[in-house]
Amino acid sequence: MVAEILCVGTELLMGQVLNTNAQFLSRRLSALGISVYHQTVVGDNEQRLEEAYRQALGRSDIVITSGGLGPTVDDITKRAAARVLGKELVLRPEADRMVRERFLQYHKQMTENNRSQAMFTGDSQVLLNPYGTAPAAIVPAGEGKVIIHLPGPPRELEPLFVEAVEPYLRAYTGSVLVSRYIRIFGMGEAEVDMRLHDLEERGNPTLSPYCSTGEVMLRATAAAADEKEGLELLKPLLVEIRKRLGDVIYEIGEDDSGSLEKTCIDAFMKRHMTVTTAESLTGGLIAATLVEVPGASNVLRGGYVTYQSEAKTMMLGVPSDLIERCGVVSAEVAVSMAEGARKKLDVDMAVSATGVAGPGGGTEECPVGTVFLGIADREKSYAVALHLSGTRERIRTLTVKHALHALIREAEGRAVQNT
């Protein structure tokens, strides 16, 4: 099956709004085993949109639109599709009820033009939207093809796709796809590919790599008659991946929502442990990343941002003579920061970070990208030296990820290696 994504809105073409919908849809469709060969962004122009529909329907089985389902004159997505298909838009009672109920729920006055949101072709399968005022729809497009209209706001599109569209597409494709997501930290994309190259060339199950800053994720997917058969197909592949990659794998999950921070929070919750942070160059990013995870309050007791040397002494008790003797960017200061933070909040573990993020401030002895993490628990403390490179943003991001990874390994009783 081949799908095409058609995002509608002049604001996308002008760069006023970031098109995250195409990324989300591509990832979800790929996980379903549906190929995406084209993505198109079209402004609010009916002629160009009709041309885009004709082209998409000529080469794809499924056309998924986002945006243009609102009540204003520039919301043309449904109207243009109906014209291409030679159909009429009619008021659908179930959609009309949904729109009216949503306005009552939001305590807002519904105007007459809002009724246009309930207009669909008579053969459309209307998808009621619990997250906004615009219903979605699946529209037959002839020769077994369909157009799927989705709202533009990601907060509406994403859950609506998962809850209503994915079940339809699974039945539409006629098979079950079972995936597992392998998340890797501490090994680069090239080395991962070198070790797994032959596994990536298999037919079923398939293995596909995805990369982000400092991390690699693999998606292993098996096509099968049912989930049990799919899991049986995946088992030997996952065993072989673990054998080849070792403990750089920090999680194997059922979906692609995993992350270092989630794994970290889960590891500490499982062991009923608490943590704190003491940050310099990251300015609170480690703590902020942890609190993105629901349930973080059970683990993170608090955090310190000690950007200047004096703050490290005042807030964490780092001796001023230690800073003067060893330098603020040093293993000794990192350890002292972690020890001070752990004692202050009486937690099971603390992580600290001090370093040079750049672009200035580096020296020959301590170049930009030099970072030290400090790890302290109730029995021991030590430092981890990092030698990072890139922009200021990249160095800070990688520092956060290394800190989270160090916490995971410590919680699991594994030694942390210097980089």
What is the average pLDDT value for the chain, to the nearest integer? 94
Kindly report, residue by residue over 401-417, the tens digit of the pLDDT.
999 999 999 999 886 66
| Amino acid letter for position 412 | E
For 148-159, what is the mean pLDDT? 96
Is the pLDDT at 419 greater than 60, yes or no? no
Among 353, 351, 385, smallest CA distance to 370 is for: 385
Q: How does pLDDT run across 337-373, given as a tens digit for each residue?
A: 999 999 999 999 999 999 999 999 999 999 999 999 9
Dihedral sign computed on CA atoms, order 189, 195, 200, 205: negative
12-21, 175-184, 289-298: range with highest mean pLDDT? 289-298
Over range 11-16, report the average pLDDT: 93
Q: Determine the Cα–Cα distance for residues 399 and 393; give it in Å rounded to an integer.
A: 10
| Strands ordered across the beta sheet of 249-253 | 206-212, 215-224, 176-185, 249-253
Domain range annotation of the chain: 2-173, 176-253, 260-411
Q: 110-114, 122-126, 326-330: which has the minimum mean pLDDT?
A: 110-114
pLDDT in tens, 194-213: 999 999 888 889 898 988 89
The pLDDT, as a whole number, for residue 225 is: 84
As a whole-number percent, the residues of the chain with pLDDT over 70 amount to: 99
From residue 355, give the alpha-carbon distance in Å to each of 70, 384, 385, 419. 49, 12, 10, 14
Q: How far is CA 262 from CA 68, 292, 299, 407, in A?
A: 35, 9, 11, 12
Looking at residue 201, its pLDDT comes to: 86
Query: How many Cα atoms within 13 Å fall on the side-chain side of residue 23?
Result: 6
Q: How much is the pLDDT for 415?
A: 65
Output the pLDDT for position 256. Answer: 84
Give pLDDT, residue 1: 85
Pick from 48-52, 174-178, 207-211, 239-243: least confident: 174-178
Q: Give the per-residue pLDDT at 174.
A: 73
Give the pLDDT mean for 257-277. Answer: 97
For 103-118, what is the mean pLDDT? Answer: 92
* CATH class, range 260-411: alpha beta
CATH 3.40.980.10 holds for 2-173: yes
> In what side-by-side order are the strands of the sheet with 146-150?
35-42, 2-8, 62-66, 146-150, 136-140, 125-127
Per-residue confidence band for 418, with pLDDT thresholds at 50, 70 and 90: low
Structure confidence at residue 411 (pLDDT): 95
72 has pLDDT over 80: yes
Per-residue pLDDT band for 334 (boundaries 50, 70, 90) equals very high
Task: Read off the pLDDT of each residue in 273-292 and give the average, rounded to a whole number.
Answer: 98
Report the predicted TM-score, pTM, of the whole model to 2 decimal places.
Answer: 0.76
pLDDT category at 217 given cuts 50, 70, 90 is: very high
The per-residue pLDDT for range 234-249, each reduced to its tens digit, is 999 999 999 999 999 9
pLDDT above 90 covers a percentage of the chain that reads 87
Q: What is the pLDDT of residues 113-145, one digit of tens each?
A: 999 999 999 999 999 999 999 999 999 999 999
> For the structural domain made of 176-253, what CATH number should be given?
3.30.70.2860
Q: Has residue 31 got a pLDDT over 80?
A: no
Model confidence band, residue 21 (pLDDT cutoffs 50, 70, 90):
very high
